[in-house]
Structure 1
Amino acid sequence: MHADQAEATQESARPTVLHVVEAWGGGVQTIVLDYVRAVPEVRHLLLMADGDPFRVASEAEAAFDGVWRMPPGHLARIREVGRLFRQLRPDVVHAHSSMAGGYVRLAAPVPTERIVYTAHGYSMERTDLSWYAAAAVRAAERILSWRTGTAAGSSPRENELARSLRKRQRTAYVPNVVRPREGTGMAPRPRSGSPADADGSCLPPRTVAAVGRLCTQKDPEFFAEAAVEGRRLMPSSNWIWLGGGDSRHQERLERAGVTVTGWLEHHTLQRLLAQADVYAHSALWEGAPMTLLEAVGLRRPVVARRIPALESLGLPGLVDTPQELATASVALLTHDPGPAAGARLADLFFEHSPERQRAMLRHVYGH
């Protein structure tokens, strides 16, 4: 056998996973790339939505053995999933988030047993939906659950919801990864009272930081109210939102005295997050938020809003109101979190190790 023939045979023998992602960016992009790194023996292919504001960076494209863009229109995207499956014959089609989950499970050529679905936060958990919209979303997920081979939840809460949709649903908990972050390049903090250096390279002392896209899910209003109370309790505290998005949310935050950085390149975001004295998480609903896990990896004290997904992770010190978030954050600005909270965060770090993620992905992908 010639060398090129041997190489082709070896390549065809590798298991193939087609990742289908409707919104390529933010935490989902980070998670999918973690999956690719976790099981490099698998051929990873990517089908993503064209025209998404988060374009695939060249280094991200290089992580995959093939990248395709979805056409516009829901029906066209369902057909494209089916066409690609017939052409590529992947061993697994892994759908990420609700819309992609719909495209894959409605694509008739894809066998149910080959479909893996990770919701990254079920839409039926959204608290901004009317009761009838939430009921419609739940009904759609219940129907589509019969076309789900494996529900690969990123939190215990997601698996609980998957089993509530179909009692005999096969589930697997694939934890997102907390990576120890070293060498973030953290510069000395400025000692002025400004929110940050002019070039955004440093955060000031006594900073409480939130991270993410300015949207309803992240509930910037909750953080804004906490900032007002936090500045009342400690006038020298600084409240910063690392990220950008909806201008209405930005204006509300700025009226509350919060500095909004706008969109940041990921390395810059990590470096600034490493400087924050407290990481605050205000989201209304989540799967297993990457920004929170990254803060844990950076050994930042965490204060988070009580929602089912975070309760299922066993995160300590959850709060229910903006006032409680402010009080807890100011307490952390003046005192250490304490041994109990530190021990639980250490456990969370272990539970979200790359080794555990790799083991569960090998199980889910069937090798």
Structure 2
Amino acid sequence: MRGDPGRTTGGGRRPTVLHVAEAWGGGVQTAVRDYVRSVPEVRHLLLMSERADCQITDTDALFDGVWRMPSGHFARVRDVGRLFRGLRPDVVHAHSSLAGAYVRLAPSVPTERIVYTPHCYAMERGDLARHAAAAVQTVERVLSRRTGTVAGVSPREVELARALRKRQRAVHVPNLVPRQEATAVPLRPRAETAVRTGDFGSLPPRTVAAVGRLCPQKDPAFFAEAAAEGRRLMPSSNWFWLGGGDPAHRERLERAGVTVTGWLDHRSLQRLLGQVAVYAHTALWEGAPMTLLEAVGLGRPVVARRIPALESLGLTGLVDTPRQLAAAAVAVLTHGPGEKNDVRLAELFAEHTRERQRMMLRYAYGQ
């Protein structure tokens, strides 16, 4: 635990936001760190629980106070209430479903001070049975009465928030597309570029890569099927998964001829992502995937599976099957990205800027 509840700067009190994140890591961690940097005049505090299967970057230097959640759902609800009463923040910003429940079930937190970012509503999960998804939706509908503002990471989240409660105050706070073109390589790298076994200092030409944790959400089996088909269509193509996780998923990918790097630090991941010829996104459900936006920022062509969140972002050329993904990737490797795709990715870049994120966050925080 670290924090100074009375800390201020200058002659007056700074507005305070308490971020609550039950699964601190991955895309949630990246998004919240961007929020902190986009609204630096606000004093940012963090109550979190770390994900064991994600790399955690240093948080203490970025936040004005950091607290770890206790074990147990009821204990966490009580902890949110206790911390709110002690700190009296202007806003409590809950990130993802469980944190959203903890905050909204804490009676001491006023509804008007609650900002909720689902980072993909749980009822969107493609691995839930219909009755389970309906139950989750019912819970979200009930809790929506305790939600001051929904700060959705995609137009899809805003749409769902207003479907849950017609008069819900909701705003699209875009994730950032970081401009990192200096680290990207040309789309047609030289043929002699190669990767050494076990050394991922560089990637081979004609590489199609997916990124993320090997888990059901990312659906590595979809990518494995696409890789097998892609290698049949273009034997010289190379298929990589940049990330690690469940050994069963890794084995499935490797049987299909996919090279799995294992976990990479963020700097190494960005370097390799800047070398891929095609970025492939195969997730079953998402909010607004950070790795896809990072690929856009690196100027990489994108082929992606059709899911509601990506449709709401206006991505073109979305596919429904592994065969279609393989064909789309091979088409890019052969002919380059289409002009329509280039235009939409450029528009996406323009929509996901620091300035836009700052403006929408200030609105969500009532500033």
The TM-score bracket by the shorter chain reads over 0.9
Change (3 A) 1:81 1:330: same
2:85 is matched by which residue type in structure 1?
R
8 Å CA contact 1:92, 1:365 repeated in 2: yes
* SS, match of residue 67 in structure 2: strand
1:275 match: 275
8 Å CA contact 1:194, 1:204 repeated in 2: yes
Q: C-alpha distance in 2, partners of 1:181/1:42?
A: 27
1:200 match: 200
* SS, match of residue 61 in structure 1: coil
Q: C-alpha distance in 1, partners of 2:49/2:264?
A: 22
1:86 is matched by which residue type in structure 2?
R
* Aligned pairs for 1:105-184 within 5 A: 105-184=104-183
Q: C-alpha distance in 2, partners of 1:282/1:365?
A: 33
* SS, match of residue 23 in structure 2: coil
Q: C-alpha distance in 1, partners of 2:340/2:106?
A: 48
* SS, match of residue 10 in structure 1: coil
Q: CA deviation at 1:13?
A: 1.4
1:247 match: 247
1:334 match: 334
Q: CA deviation at 1:54?
A: 3.7
TM-score calculated relative to the size of structure 1:
0.94
Change (3 A) 1:202 1:189: farther
Change (3 A) 1:50 1:258: closer
8 Å CA contact 1:217, 1:283 repeated in 2: yes
Q: C-alpha distance in 2, partners of 1:344/1:92?
A: 35
Q: C-alpha distance in 2, partners of 1:112/1:322?
A: 44
Q: C-alpha distance in 2, partners of 1:193/1:10?
A: 54
Q: CA deviation at 1:182?
A: 3.9
1:149 is matched by which residue type in structure 2?
G
8 Å CA contact 1:195, 1:259 repeated in 2: no
Deviations 1:271-319 (Å, cap 9, x if unpaired)?
0000000000000111000000000000000000001100000001100
2:72 match: 73
Q: CA deviation at 1:75?
A: 0.4
Change (3 A) 1:56 1:216: closer
2:316 is matched by which residue type in structure 1?
P
Q: CA deviation at 1:199?
A: 2.1
8 Å CA contact 1:190, 1:197 repeated in 2: no
* SS, match of residue 284 in structure 1: coil
Q: CA RMSD in A?
A: 1.9
Q: C-alpha distance in 1, partners of 2:38/2:175?
A: 11
Q: C-alpha distance in 2, partners of 1:285/1:201?
A: 31
Q: CA deviation at 1:132?
A: 1.4
Q: CA deviation at 1:66?
A: 0.5
Q: C-alpha distance in 2, partners of 1:317/1:202?
A: 28
Q: CA deviation at 1:158?
A: 0.4
Q: CA deviation at 1:130?
A: 1.1
Q: C-alpha distance in 2, partners of 1:197/1:54?
A: 25
**What stretches of structure 1 of length at least 5 have no aligned partner?**
1-6
Change (3 A) 1:252 1:11: farther
Q: CA deviation at 1:57?
A: 3.1
1:4 match: none
Q: CA deviation at 1:335?
A: 1.2
* Aligned pairs for 1:225-240 within 5 A: 225-240=225-240
Q: C-alpha distance in 2, partners of 1:268/1:186?
A: 14
Q: Higher mean Cα deviation, 185-194 or 138-147?
A: 185-194
Runs of 4 or more consecutive aligned structure 1 residues displaced over 6 Å after TM superposition: 185-190
1:113 is matched by which residue type in structure 2?
E
Q: CA deviation at 1:192?
A: 6.4
2:334 is matched by which residue type in structure 1?
T
2:244 is matched by which residue type in structure 1?
G
1:305 is matched by which residue type in structure 2?
R
Q: CA deviation at 1:184?
A: 2.9
1:32 match: 32
Deviations 1:236-282 (Å, cap 9, x if unpaired)?
10000000111111110011000111110001000000000000000
Change (3 A) 1:204 1:56: closer
2:211 is matched by which residue type in structure 1?
V
TM-score calculated relative to the size of structure 2:
0.94
1:84 match: 83
* SS, match of residue 19 in structure 2: strand
1:46 paired with 2:46, answer yes
Change (3 A) 1:177 1:8: closer
Change (3 A) 1:196 1:297: farther
Q: CA deviation at 1:185?
A: 8.1
8 Å CA contact 1:24, 1:52 repeated in 2: no
